[in-house]
Chain A
Amino acid sequence: MICVPGDDVAPLQDGLMRGHGTYAHSNQLVSCGAGRIERVNKLASVRPVRGRYTGSVGDLVVGEIVEVAHRSWKVDVGSTRKATLAITSVTLPDDAQRVRTHEDTLAMRELFKEGDVVVCEVQAVNADGQLHLHMKSNRYGLLENGCVVRVNQHLVRRLKHHFVELPDINVELCVGHNGRVWVQRAIPSQWIEAEAQDGGGGAGEADALLSAEAWRRVRKRHSALPLEDNEREACCRARNAVAVLGSGGCVVDGDSILKIYRASLGDAPSKMLTRAVAQKLVADFLGERAPEPMDEGEDAMQL
């Protein structure tokens, strides 16, 4: 059931919990947002389809450093306020485990400076919506030699792996919950294996085969290597595929990007960005599942 602000969600009975996007008004639970009404047992809430990223703990986000503050960086992730990345939440070079010194505070720009794109995880959410980020997993860190595409954050749902590799295409993506998708050429697996053999193995997680320092070395090597023409075209095409999905309102994940990518192989990547081609790609992707076009009727705006 779709609702808009002011629509009744449910009568307020015993035990009914007010979920996100609702408020109580004289015995009724009323929606204050536009979206789909979701009812799970006693919890009634409204799931929006539009709106800025609000953030929840554990989300993987791609953001841009906008400010280097005293002991933290301010990151633009597209939420209400700039997110904070504290110096204590970042792994130091050489995987040093120690208290951050005054020298570390002065050397922050050597780690990340304004304009850098980073991938991190949400550690905490303030009452006023400010996010605190961390990079404690070894796979998080600086992203270079690629580009960011912005889509509506509701088109990204919780995936098993947010680092997506498109098979046979040599393109790697990092799909952030905040609707920012990082596209780059895939890091050759030989480099990763070489680092792992050299003893750069990390502790624990499945996603982090290497230590943070080893990942840094691999990424630096990757960012220093210029792109070949075919690699550049593949990255452009993948980036445009994400943009096409975003403008068409479709979910962005490895499967959908791959389908749009393959469907667009007939044309140059730049052609995908024209309205006609983008709409056709989305229509073909949805196939019969596409909803009926809205009946314009007499009230259509003569634009």
Chain B
Amino acid sequence: MAQDGAFDEDWFELFGARGDGRGLDEPRRLAVQLGTARSRHVDGSCDVAQGLTRVSAHAQGPREHERRSDEKHDRCVLEVAATYAPFASVGARTGARRQDGRDLENAVRNALAPALMAERYPRALIKIHVLVTCDDGGATSAAINAAGLALVDAGIFLRGVVAAARVGAPVAATTLVDPNRAEARHGVALDLACLPCFGEVLWTDLTGERPLQPDAYDSLIARALDAAAKVGEQLATAARDHVARLDAVREASLEAAVAR
């Protein structure tokens, strides 16, 4: 294995596993929790952990704009504010760039806006705050997953649960699902957000050091869609369980209130 933890073909050939023991197609363990925020100003919230990467998202809204001139008469506006905690990663973000989440804000907004049923909230504002507390690679897709579920928790209408996944091609012939920070350092990585229920791609982002052939790109997209579909199932299950539990408690309390 390379010193910095990057993907090593020889290592993989020898041990049949990546540096952290995963197979090529194996994503990191995903843990999702909805409704984690305690503040009464937050309407919906979600914490997502993918391996060591941890992201927290809070959704507020729909509410009035602060300035009337920002309103859109027939739809709502989605605003995203994203920050990286100062301790989120070691050495990568320093100085003034340290907490700059602008790329992440754009990614989350562009991924969620097509799924949001904006016409149902005319003249409204929906704000999402994303905090990355630990960045071990894949923070963008974790943030999109968390923000999407925060909207679901807030009761905001979406066309479907938005799922995001990342695939990387550190060397030309190999595709990894859900590369961590070290693995994604070399080669190319593709982030993709989709609506798994319809197989519709909402947003993609390709980063990397070398150009990609069209068929290599197509195969990356296919792998990413596949990975996102699996993530989408887990997200939808977590959301359904959360909602089912709230509903079950409410129903139980209805009976308990009238009981002797």
Cβ < 8 Å to B, chain A residues 26-74: 30, 32-36, 48-52
| B240 on the A face (CB < 8 A) | yes
B250 and A49 contacting across the interface, CB-CB below 8 Å? yes
| A155 on the B face (CB < 8 A) | yes
| B99 on the A face (CB < 8 A) | no
Q: Is the interface of A mostly helix, strand, loop or mixed?
A: loop
Which B residues touch A25, using CB under 8 A?
159, 198
| Among A35, A127, A299, A303, contact of B247 (Cβ-Cβ < 8 Å) | A35
B42 to chain A, nearest CB (A): 11
Q: Map CB proximity to B onto A141-169 as digits: 1 under 8 Å, 0 otherwise.
A: 00000000010001101000000000000
Closest to A249 in B: B249
| Among B124, B195, B243, contact of A49 (Cβ-Cβ < 8 Å) | B243
| A88 on the B face (CB < 8 A) | no
A248→B246 CA distance, assembly (Å): 9
Which of A34, A248, A249, A251 counts the most chain B CB atoms within 10 A? A34
Q: Map CB proximity to A onto B219-260 as digits: 1 under 8 Å, 0 otherwise.
A: 000000000000000001001110111111110111111100
Cβ < 8 Å to B, chain A residues 287-303: 287, 289-291, 294, 298-301, 303
Q: What is the size, in residues, of chain B's interface with A at 8 Å between Cβ atoms?
A: 54
Q: What is the size, in residues, of chain A's interface with B at 8 Å between Cβ atoms?
A: 51
Which A residues touch B253, using CB under 8 A?
245, 248-251, 256, 285-286, 289
A80→B255 CA distance, assembly (Å): 31
B170 to chain A, nearest CB (A): 27
Which stretch in A4-12, A100-108, A188-196, A220-228 binds the other chain?
A4-12
B155 and A32 contacting across the interface, CB-CB below 8 Å? no
Cβ < 8 Å to A, chain B residues 73-129: 117, 120-124
| Among A6, A51, A286, A287, contact of B249 (Cβ-Cβ < 8 Å) | A286
Closest to A46 in B: B157
Known contacts A259-B257, A286-B252, A287-B256; A249 and B62 CB within 8 A of each other:
no
Which B residues touch A300, using CB under 8 A?
31
| Among B62, B117, B158, B246, contact of A80 (Cβ-Cβ < 8 Å) | B62
A34→B158 CA distance, assembly (Å): 9
B47 and A301 contacting across the interface, CB-CB below 8 Å? yes
Which B residues touch A109, using CB under 8 A?
none
Which B residues touch A294, using CB under 8 A?
241, 245
B197 and A6 contacting across the interface, CB-CB below 8 Å? yes
B247 and A49 contacting across the interface, CB-CB below 8 Å? yes
B152 and A4 contacting across the interface, CB-CB below 8 Å? yes
Cβ < 8 Å to A, chain B residues 161-210: 161, 195-198
Which B residues touch A287, using CB under 8 A?
256
A287 to chain B, nearest CB (A): 6
A105 to chain B, nearest CB (A): 23
| B67 on the A face (CB < 8 A) | no
A142→B239 CA distance, assembly (Å): 40
| A128 on the B face (CB < 8 A) | yes
A282 to chain B, nearest CB (A): 8
B159 and A80 contacting across the interface, CB-CB below 8 Å? no
A128 to chain B, nearest CB (A): 4
Closest to A6 in B: B160
Which B residues touch A289, using CB under 8 A?
252-253, 255-256
Question: B interface vs A, CB < 8 Å?
Answer: 29-33, 35, 40, 43-44, 47, 49, 61-64, 117, 120-124, 152-161, 195-198, 236, 239-241, 243-250, 252-258
Can you list 9 contacts pairing A with B, beta carbon distance less than 8 Å? A4-B240, A5-B161, A34-B152, A50-B35, A51-B43, A128-B123, A255-B257, A285-B253, A286-B256
Top 7 closest pairs, chain A to chain B, by CB: A51-B155, A6-B160, A250-B253, A6-B197, A291-B248, A289-B252, A32-B157
